[in-house]
Chain A
Amino acid sequence: MSQFETVIGLEVHLQLSTRTKIFCSCVNQYGCAPNTNVCPVCLGLPGTLPVLNHQALLYGIKVGLALNAEINSFVKFDRKNYYYPDLPKGYQISQFDFPVAKKGYLNIKSGGQEKRIGITRAHLEEDAGKLVHDNSGSCSLADFNRTGTPLIEIVTEPDLRSPQEAYDYLNTLKLTLQYLGISDCDMEKGSLRCDANVSIRPVGQASFGTKTELKNMNSFRAVKTALEYEVRRQTQVIIAGEKVVQETLLWDDEKAQTRAMRSKEQAHDYRYFPDPDLVPFTIDYKIIDGVRAELPELPQAKFLRFLSQYGLSEYDANILVADGGMADFFEAAVKEYPQAKKIANWLAGPVLMELNNRKTPIQELKLSPQGLVTLIAKVEDGVVSNLVGKEVLTFMLDEGKGADEVIKEKSLAQVSDDSALLAIIDEVIAQNPAVVEQIKSGKPNAAGFLVGQAMKRSGGRANPKKLNELIMRRITGV
């Protein structure tokens, strides 16, 4: 196997979350009843004309800048002509020779290595509608709600060398795009879609092998699996002395295999030409600079800053940065309570666990940064133990109450009162004479067992430090 090298290029289609569609004033919204979110323009009725949504252009520029690309100040749209029932005009308005952005890159980390993936281009276009196929096969239904949703297509150079790299690129790209706040990047809703071009060649060969195009992968995991499958298939073809056929393949996730969609001979001639309905124009550099100035801090920069500014571990920093909401929450919390590492531990630990259990983003949690640091302070001050602290967190999230309130209501405060603790300790000492003897004979570590026993009896509420202190004093008199 290792005599071959894999070459992969990816095309990502991203729906932009502008308020309205790209060429008409329909609201850009997912999940409406079929064919209710349409107008004469996005239905392509005779006589209608497109008008560019300026916001979509600004979002496109933002993506370009985030991908370190050159921005075309000359804005031009072209028609891509082909027939399909989900395409009401018989052509898609897209960008051909002047994409909004070109020649960019994205740095990724894969297998512990940093790698720069070239971005060939990113261009704006309109989304098509959706076909729903009747199970009986007697008819297909068309839903045009999606028609005219703004899309940006991001095309990489053939720089990816393994399915894993492709997977890592996709995750890094998605995170970067999420930070821009221009799309919900939800593959399940189809707001992020990915096609892959893949070929193999003997190691050391400069020219590319014949590629195939993979479509219909509906998760990053599926992209990876499909690529692995296709690399295996191509390798077998070549080892068998046959030739890879250039074709488009559809991935079947259930069967975990591909099937042919169309070969190159049937490839479309899209007859691109400038759309005469949309006059090309030049966008002022000041506008591009304005978008640049509004770019948020991107995940890689944030990761490095979290390491240096807060002294976080790479592990914690990664977890925080992987979710823009989490990173913001963290920084808001640090402002309230300057114990960055403690806060990071809580977020990367118990809070993350709660998020996973509840399958909800941090923004929707009934928890404010102030709320969390109040809880952390309680733990640090010994009001509750670490363990009970986690319990308090769960109650806080369930009931939307503050840490103080929960601790009081549920009587979860640690018992530090000597007389109450001494009663428990005396019982434990009486029941474990052997351990007491060990301590007396100069093995103070054995006290840990007694602390554990006493802790159990207190229902976890006893202050463990205090317990240890009292036990030692009782036994050794010190």
Chain B
Amino acid sequence: MNLHALTAHALLDLFKSGKASAKEAYEAVVGRIKSIDPKVKAYVHLSRSQPHYAGEFQIPIAIKDNLCTKGEEITCASRILKGFRSPYDAGVIERIKKSGGSILGIVNMDEFAFGSSCETSCYGPTFNPWNLQCVPGGSSGGSAASVAADEAMWALGSDTGGSIRQPASFCGIVGLKPTYGRVSRYGLIAFASSLDQIGPLTKDVRDCALLMNIISGYDERDSTSVNEPVPDYTRALVNDVRGLKIGIPKEAFVEGLDAEVRRAVESALDLLKKQGAVIKEVSLPHTPYAVATYYIVATAEASSNLARFDGVRYGLRVQPGKVRKNALVDMYEETRSKGFGDEAKRRIMLGTYALSSGYYDAYYLRGQKVRTLIKNDLDQVFKDCDVIMTPTSPTVAFKVGEKVSDPLSMYLSDIYTIPANLAGIPAISVPCGFSKSGLPIGFQLMGRAFDEEMLLRVSYTYEQNTEWHLKKPTI
């Protein structure tokens, strides 16, 4: 039996019946990493600490390189944080540890989560397990690839504009961005504080519900986390969508959407219709402005969030040999020039500009207003619909290097995922087929704030009536 190939819930059943132990499972996954990861390159490094086998959910997990984990080097895949060993655990890491989870290691990402391909990492790209010449998506590319390649039972990622859902879709797994405030951000190295949310990447919908049970809940150390009771998400796993209303935004199925992706999502829709769901065409008139709005708000916050990486206290410090302005300013400039990659610099400059005196009203403030309009569009639709369905990404995984020199086309790969972050609502990506070239396709469901259960219910129903989630890549 290949324990590494199992879902977490299948593994938990084996633990219960005594047919396998957590130690065997952990060792099986570590073995798999050792044999496969040289090709996939999902991991930045394996955990420095040994697993301790105690607790209800002794599931081996992969952690994105932006979640502070005590004793581990956490770098956001950036040279500027090289050598930073976190002295504390993020809120979600505490919960994982408390539940019995054992941390396999730290997985790759786009530098500071700036990207949709995992190529901006200072460690080099991670590769898509379905085709090693393709990207796994991003920014949680390492998280998605590790789960898809059976190098982890499940993984944690973060999602600011689609960074969980798009790689989940590219790698053929399930990825959920929870409602803003559902999961504590304490210990998540911030990209854009008002958009960031931590969430699960799993092999199927049941695992997604299980991992949500573990990581959700109020944390007094995060003022934006919400003090609302957390349901048992596994109770939402019912194979029944009769009478549920699924909204299809007409703006979603337009030019730029790959024909194969379109067909796969449409047949998923048909399946749900056959299961009794009611399909309704809706309109989200402001979504065409979502990407532009996002790149104002997200970069503005990022420019401030990344100011702390200045070479003074931790991570990289570069002092040029010759004094140029003065020792301090020289050090700042040299450290940040050498420490950040091109995409990080691009976004810091964009965001700095958007916040500059004289431009604030035209950019940041305007961006926040459009954000409200986009949220209002969604609220309007959710008065009538239970979920909104779109493709997760307009294309399947692209080739490594294909879009690196074209940031705008890279930005557009988040066109379907960004609105959920701007509105703070939950959204999930579920596998729904493959392209002719054998690359996974996913659809996205968006739901009302704090109604992750509805997303899980519809996803579960779809999954119960398909077999896409059971397919494995050959590496």
Chain A residues with CB under 8 Å of chain B are 40-41, 43-52, 79, 81, 83, 85, 88-91, 142, 269, 271-273, 276-279
Contact = CB atoms under 8 A, between A and B. Distances in A.
B87 A45 contact: yes
Interface in B288-312: 300-301, 303-304, 306-310, 312
A88 B312 CA distance: 8
Contact of B222 (A46, A49, A142): A49
Interface string B116-131: 0000000000000000
Given A45-B87, A52-B223, A85 B355 contact: no
A271 B357 contact: yes
Interface residues of B, number: 45
Contact of A142 (B194, B300, B312): B312
By Cβ-Cβ distance, the 8 closest A-B pairs, closest first, are A90-B307, A276-B193, A276-B194, A271-B355, A47-B187, A46-B189, A47-B68, A269-B357
Given A40-B87, A81-B355, A276-B301, A49 B220 contact: no
B313 A47 contact: no
Interface of B: 66-68, 74, 76, 81, 84, 86-88, 90, 185-190, 192-194, 220-224, 300-301, 303-304, 306-310, 312-314, 328, 332, 352, 355-357, 360, 364
A96 to B, nearest CB: 11
Contacts of A269: 356-357
Nearest to B184: A49
A89 B310 CA distance: 9
A273 B193 contact: no
Contact of A273 (B304, B309, B312): B304
Nearest to A44: B308
A41 B222 CA distance: 11
A49 B357 CA distance: 26
A46 B186 contact: no
Contacts, number: 99
Contact of A51 (B189, B194, B221, B307): B221
B300 A85 contact: no
A45 B88 contact: yes
A97 B300 CA distance: 18
A56 to B, nearest CB: 14
Contacts of B308: 44, 46, 88-90
A91 B307 contact: yes
12 contacts: A43-B313, A44-B308, A46-B308, A46-B309, A47-B67, A49-B222, A81-B355, A85-B328, A89-B308, A271-B303, A273-B364, A277-B223
Contacts of A45: 68, 86-88, 314
A57 to B, nearest CB: 13
Given A44-B308, A49-B223, A269-B357, 7 more contacts: A46-B86, A47-B68, A48-B88, A49-B186, A89-B307, A276-B194, A277-B190
A48 B186 contact: yes
A40 B89 CA distance: 11
A123 B328 CA distance: 30
Contacts of B332: 83
Nearest to B352: A271
